[in-house]
Amino acid sequence: MAEPYYITTAIHYPNGRPHIGHAYEMIAADAIARFQRQAGRDVRFQTGTDEHGLKMVKTARERGVAVRALADEMSRYFSDLVERLNISCDRFIRTVEPAHYRASEAIWQAMADAGDLYLDRYEGWYSVRDEAFYEEKELTGEGDARLSPQGTPVEWTAEETWFFRLSNYQQPLLDFYAANPDFIRPESRRNEVLRFVEGGLTDLSVSRTSFDWGVPVPGSDGHVMYVWVDALTNYITGLGYPDRAGDFAKYWPADVHLIGKDIVRFHAVYWPAFLMSAQLAPPKQVYGHGFVLNRGAKMSKSVGNVVDPLDLAAAFGVDALRYFLLRDISFGQDGSYSPKAIATRANADLANSFGNLAQRTLSFIAKNLEGALPRAGRSEPADAALLEAVALASEEFRTAFGDLALTQGCEAWMRGVAACNQYIDVQAPWALRKTDPDRMHAVLGTLVRAIHDLAIVILPVVPDSAAKILDLLEIDDRGHSALSHHDWYANKSASGFRISAPTPIFPRLEVPEDDEEA
Ligand code: ME8
């Protein structure tokens, strides 16, 4: 039986339309999910929308609409984005689903049964934009100009709330981090969390009474759960919790929660503490990716410098956008994007390198060999050397992706592509047609094999385009076990398969002159 692999993104606040940061997270998670499926894992991939909380209430009020209507309308934009960006999730979860209320009530009850919840009065600072409580010592600025560590405004809050005994979990969390050194990645995020927890934990306010848009606290009229309690629970709602058999038994604990660096504390401190309290296992890993910056500035719906990822996908193509984001933004770190950078990268790597390699080779075969796969021909050491270089690049890609080093994976793949292009330049197969047809067959046959492997390898990153090449070559087995091209080549040669002339798969994009406007 295939080994299970459970990956999630954060669930996104639908208080506005999705921006490129949301698209980035979905695309990265999708590439990992597709990669793990190719590797033969039984993958479960979840994304969705986080629809409760004060931010939603305030946005609905500003727009003069009912908060549920806002949630319904805006959540749709996120599920549309999933479709449009080719995100292969198994479950798109909405926190307004009845199943999610049941799961949230159950985890609440389990924390209550553990003696970890008590009623008290909360007085302190709250950031609506972060949906987070902060301690005085974490803030900067004075008076009404006080800001959270994320740079967002905070407001004074005073109400009776339920508290979670987070202070009891300082040592269990530190022990857990020590026993699981890969729990928080990358390293810089791990250090931040360790410092925070070592500094001491205060109990966490986990219910609100000043509004009612949330999951009601069981048996406590007037209280709704703090939005992060129900939000984090989505990861197990999606597996059928509180039923602990079925998908929950199979996929929990999650292999990775892929989230942005701003919400690592919720995932690496609060969430494992809630789970420990409820006698459930913490996830195996929390990965805090970096931010996609628009001309150096953080994008946020509340700030209003938001770029619609659908516009970028329409302008450059989904696969060009996917490739750019994973290749150019060093995974784990922040990175900037611009339309010019997207087009430049897509042209250099996809259109001019891999696309051109496939296009030249396959159309030459279609035209000059009537599409028949080249026969063995007269081989030279350069042929085996090329296939070795491609095998090495494939292996490096797989090692990198297995370790979530997505950018390094793309770089390794490009080394394989570059080796092919060098080989073409040296071997000049087009000239061999007249002078040495036997050698030409060997060269073209080597290139077709290399294209076979490189298309399979890059499938998780550019799924549509790579699939077009694989379709053209009638390559049905697209898993990692197919990376040895021998069987495919022998079978196709024997069956009389013919390559039909391809239309260019990676179009050459016009590079926008102006970098100013997104
Ligand atoms: O935080 N670049 O939702 P959210 C990259 N609902 N990633 C970005 C980004 C950017 N410019 N801006 C945001 C929430 N993100 C909560 C999560 S999970 C149980 C609840 C990332 O819509 C951000 O870091 O504000 C987060 O991982 C995700 O997008 C959703 O952000």
pLDDT digits (tens, 9 = 90+) for 335-384: 999 999 999 999 999 999 999 999 999 999 999 999 999 999 999 999 99
Mean pLDDT for 321-341 is 96
DSSP state, residue 136: G
Query: Tokens 């990861």 — which residue?
Result: 235
Residue found by looking up tokens 């749709």 in the block:
76
- Reading the block at residue 403, the tokens are 């370790």
Q: Residue 301: is its pLDDT beyond 50? A: yes
- How confident is the prediction for the chain on average, in pLDDT? 95
User: Is the complex ipTM more than 0.90?
Assistant: yes
pLDDT of residue 298: 65
Q: What would the mean pLDDT of 61-67 be, rounded to a whole number?
A: 97
What's the CA gap between 46 and 82, in Å, rounded?
11
Residue 467 and residue 459 in contact, taking contact as beta carbons nearer than 8 Å: yes
Residue 514 pLDDT level (bands cut at 50, 70, 90): low
The pLDDT of residue 518: 43
Statement: residue 109 has pLDDT above 60: yes
> What's residue 275's pLDDT?
98
Residues 463-472 pLDDT 10s: 999 999 999 9
Using the mean position of ligand 1's atoms as its centre, give its distance from the Cα of residue 103 in Å: 22
Q: Provide residues with CB under 6 Å of ligand 1.
A: 10-13, 21-22, 24-25, 50, 231-232, 234, 259-260, 262-263, 291-292, 298-299
Does the pLDDT at position 55 exceed 70? Answer: yes
Is residue 296 scored above 70 in pLDDT? no
Q: Which of 7, 50, 215 to mutate to test the pocket of ligand 1 (most atoms within 8 A of CB)?
A: 50
Distance of CA 111 to the CA centre of its chain: 30
Lowest mean pLDDT among 10-19, 131-140, 324-333: 131-140
Long-range contacts formed by 100-103: CB under 8 A, 24+ apart: 100/215, 100/230, 100/233, 100/234, 100/237, 101/215, 102/237, 102/242, 103/233, 103/234, 103/236, 103/237, 103/241, 103/242
CA atoms of 60 and 57, how far apart (whole Å): 5
Distances (CA, A) of 451 to 200, 383, 467: 55, 13, 12
Burial 222-252 (b: 16+ CB within 10 A, else e): ebbbbbbbbbbbbbbbbbbbbeeeebbeebb
Task: Give DSSP secondary structure letters for 201-231.
Answer: ---EE-EESS---SPBPTT-TT-EE-HHHHH
Closest CA to 102 of 256, 241, 263, 310: 241
Phi, psi (degrees; rounded to nearest 5) at 195: -60, -40
Indicate which residue's Cα is closest to atom 30 of ligand 1: 12
Residues 229 and 267: their CA atoms lie apart, in Å, by 11
Q: Whose CA is nearest to atom 18 of ligand 1?
A: 10
**Atom 26, ligand 1: which residue's CA is nearest?**
260
Q: How many CA atoms lie within 13 A of 320 on its CB side?
A: 31
| Peptide bond connecting 460 to the previous residue in cis, omega within 30 degrees of 0 | no
Question: What is the pLDDT averaged over residues 257-263?
Answer: 98
Tokens of residue 134, six digits:
């902060």
- CA–CA distance, 467 with 475 (Å, rounded to integer): 9
Residue 515 has pLDDT above 70, yes or no: no
Cα–Cα distance measured from residue 117 to residue 111, given in angstroms and rounded to the nearest whole number: 7
Q: What is the pLDDT of residues 407-447, one digit of tens each?
A: 999 999 999 999 999 999 999 999 999 999 999 999 999 99
Cα–Cα distance measured from residue 95 to residue 85, given in angstroms and rounded to the nearest whole number: 22
Please give the biggest Cα pair distance in the chain. Answer: 89
Confidence of residue 517 (pLDDT cuts 50, 70, 90): very low
Q: How many angstroms is it from 87 CA to the middle of ligand 1?
A: 17
Mean pLDDT of 83-99: 98
299 Cα to the center of ligand 1, angstroms: 10
Q: Label residues 298-324 b or e (16+ Cβ within 10 Å = b).
A: ebbbeeeebbbbbebbebbbbbbbbbb
Q: How far is the CA of 289 from the centre of ligand 1 (A)?
A: 10
Q: Per residue in 151-210, pLDDT tens? A: 999 999 999 999 999 999 999 999 999 999 999 999 999 999 999 999 999 999 999 999
Distance from the alpha carbon of residue 392 to the mean position of ligand 1, in angstroms: 35
Check if the beta carbon of residue 412 is closer than 8 Å to that of residue 396: yes
- Mean pLDDT over 497-515 rounds to 88
Give the helix/strand (H/E) hosting 122: strand 117-127
Distance in Å, CA 22 to ligand 1 centroid:
6
Would you state the structure tokens that stand for residue 302, as one six-digit string? 């509340």
Atom of ligand 1 nearest to the CA of 294: 11
CA pair distance 367, 355, nearest whole angstrom: 18
* Dist. CA 200 → ligand 1 center (Å): 26
Local structure of residue 354 (DSSP, 8 states): I
182 CA → ligand 1 middle, Å: 22
Distance CA 254, CA 431 (A): 54
> Under 8 Å CB-to-CB from 29, ≥6 apart: which residues?
7, 8, 9, 45, 47, 87, 258
Q: Give, to the nearest 10 degrees, the angle between helix 463-472 and helix 318-328.
A: 120
- Quote the CA–CA distance of 343 and 338 in Å, as a whole number: 9
Res 294: pLDDT: 81
Q: Which of 7, 8, 12 for a ligand 1 pocket mutation test, highest count of atoms within 8 Å of Cβ?
A: 12
- In ligand 1, which atom is closest to the CA atom of 260? 24
Name residues whose C-beta falls within 8 Å of residue 163's C-beta, 6 or more positions apart in sequence.
Answer: 117, 118, 119, 120, 122, 203, 204, 205, 206
Span from the CA of 409 to the centroid of ligand 1 (angstroms): 24
Beta strand pairing status for 292-294 and 335-337? Answer: parallel
Who contacts 434 (Cβ-Cβ below 8 Å, separation ≥6)?
none
User: Distance from the CA of 259 to the center of ligand 1, in angstroms?
Assistant: 7
Nearest CA to ligand 1 atom 16: 12
Are residues 134 and 251 in contact, defined by beta-carbon separation less than 8 angstroms? no
Do residues 344 and 509 lie in contact, with contact meaning Cβ atoms separated by under 8 Å?
Answer: no
With pLDDT > 70 as the criterion, what percentage of the chain qualifies? 97
Cα distance between residue 140 and residue 147, in whole Å:
5
Q: What angle do CA 68, 71, 77 make, to 5 degrees?
A: 150
Mutate to test the pocket of ligand 1, among 13, 25, 295 (most ligand atoms within 8 A of CB): 25
Say how many C-beta atoms besides its own lie within 10 A of residue 172's C-beta.
Answer: 14
